[in-house]
Structure 1
Amino acid sequence: MDELEKGPRDPCCTVNFDTRVRWPSLSIARRVKVEYRQCTNGGLEIGHGFQGREDATPWRSRKKGDGMLHTPDTDSFISIKHVSKSFGPVQALSDIGLDIKSGEFVSIVGPSGCGKSTLLMLLSGLMKRTGGDIRVGGQMVDSPRSDIGIVFQRDVLMEWRSALRNVLLQAEVRGMPMGPAAARARELLKMVSLDAFENAYPHQLSGGMRQRVSICRALLHKPPLLVMDEPFGALDALTRDQMQLDLLRICRETHTTVLFITHSISEAIFLSDRVVVMSPRPGRIERIIDIDLPRPRRLSIRESREFATYSDEVTQIFKSLGVLREGDDE
């Protein structure tokens, strides 16, 4: 039997990991023991225990159709209302409110420590909020979502698996039929110009190529929502430019809703329909800026007067907040 055809055949197949890596769809920010159980009743059970604990939290179980994201009839696909998050005495986020439409590309830009990644974790259900409501596809987010795609700064590829097999890891965990999944994986790799490298191992790929594989893995199950936490931050400038172009093309072809976190003002403007500007901790939304630039975007648009105007607007916000200070501002 072709290796790609193999899949769970037992009534309940359990895979255990004790690792620091972030899973493509269910991510833990620190060392974590994770168990995935794909059962013949169609359920995907997920359990995890954080470092320092040998016990796992109670299983969270989802059957097919439970907790799945569906685009609502209303304009708002993501609804974040009065959300706050505290870590003991430290308040990370305060009164966050944001609505995102289906198919929209929204970037969040802000200084380090302002709660950008925390907001992503709350939206993904990987962290409990202190207050407020978060709804995705009309459903309250109160537990980890297994039906979204997550991409982090590190690609987190498994070095002993080929590019194709790394993408198909998503299918194996979910118990997806391997035939259609393999076809979908190859389609995604071709979309990012990696069809000739499907059998290459991570050590044979450049940083940008590895991150493309990571994005393909996150998109394998056709998630309606893709959240990305500084995915291009570790790349060189030229590779970063190409990755931005690749991402825009993928989003245009898949109509995926994207929430993108970055420290780069230019990157946020170039990619987005709207840019959310956050204040220093406790993180608040200082301003939401509509980016009225034509699509498809070309790199040359960064030289336009309109682009410079948006960049200056965001820069002035950060200067007013004391995030940016020039020598003559002292």
Structure 2
Amino acid sequence: MTGRKLVRPYLFSQVFKGTATDLDKAGLFDPVLNSDSKLFIDPLLIEGSDNPHMAAAYKQLREHFAKATKLLSASRAVNDPAWKAARRILDLGERSETCLGYGGSSTSGSGRSEEVRERILETTKQIIELGENNPEIISLMGMFEEGVGPDTISDLTTFAILPALCALTEEFCKKSGVPARRFKDYFDAELPENPIDPSKPILLVPQDILRDLPLAADWSDVARVTFENEKIRDAFNSFVGLISQMTLTEKKDAIKKTALLSLDHFRAILDAVLGSSDSYDPKADPLNLYRFREMIAGDLSVFAQPGLNVGKPSSAELQRLVLIIVASKHSLRTTTCGNSCGMKKNPSERRPRS
């Protein structure tokens, strides 16, 4: 890699040869180890996952967030002991072990401000004071808070279900003969090293808990599932003017105000969102994430162009190279096709009509 440009991407199944079929059978995502894939763990998908380890993961998720909600419920003021304890539970650190997110040509992610965590704590406290103590409310903060994006939700969830992800990765590695070593900080699980950073393991993730955007962070989906309720739609409209002219921040603020009007309003939104999340579809593959994997796992020599001089990396240089390669392939196809395609080099060679 050079800078933030991904030069030689390689898959888990390329580093640990022979695992592609096993990953597919197990329903596990085959990550690019030296670049984050723009998919995210959606906490709303965990309960319905087909992976047997996700039953434990769902329990871990609820128990983890329940600790935070109980502490916030007991808190009487910001920064009192209960509040500080809840803050420690909500770890917003980037989880590079899954190779998911917005990290570009690395898997290190980007830092998050303490302000984001404080907003999550404050909004969660407001919801608790309405009378709602469902621990899954924390996983929906992307719906209410600016700055809480899919990467934040995914990393919060990853931290909560880390034991289950370690267990399923360890099980897969043992069954498929993947070299692994014991990582003390990961529940003493035997996990594969990431060759980019051997101090950290690779954690495999079920495909059916991944989305390109978790529902709580995707405004179009939030609107779709919540505005079917006339009461919610009318209350939301009372806080806005022309919705087409609103910014995302203003939309989130309006849905937050709507949710906090009453416990009934909040539960109507919560129930709608909890029942409406779908995983990323590898067959439709709108982001070409799986197609990209097929390409880099295949024979890249077909893209080789002998004698091609590559200049300094830039968008203009990339465009120039692509046009040269496309023109070359088109020329080769035309030449190979020849007369079998009904083409003649000289119009005078055409057979006259009888």
Q: TM tier, shorter chain?
A: under 0.3
More helix by share: 2
Tell me the TM-score normalised to structure 2 length.
0.23
More strand by share: 1
Q: Larger C-alpha radius of gyration, 1 or 2?
A: 2
Tell me the TM-score normalised to structure 1 length.
0.25
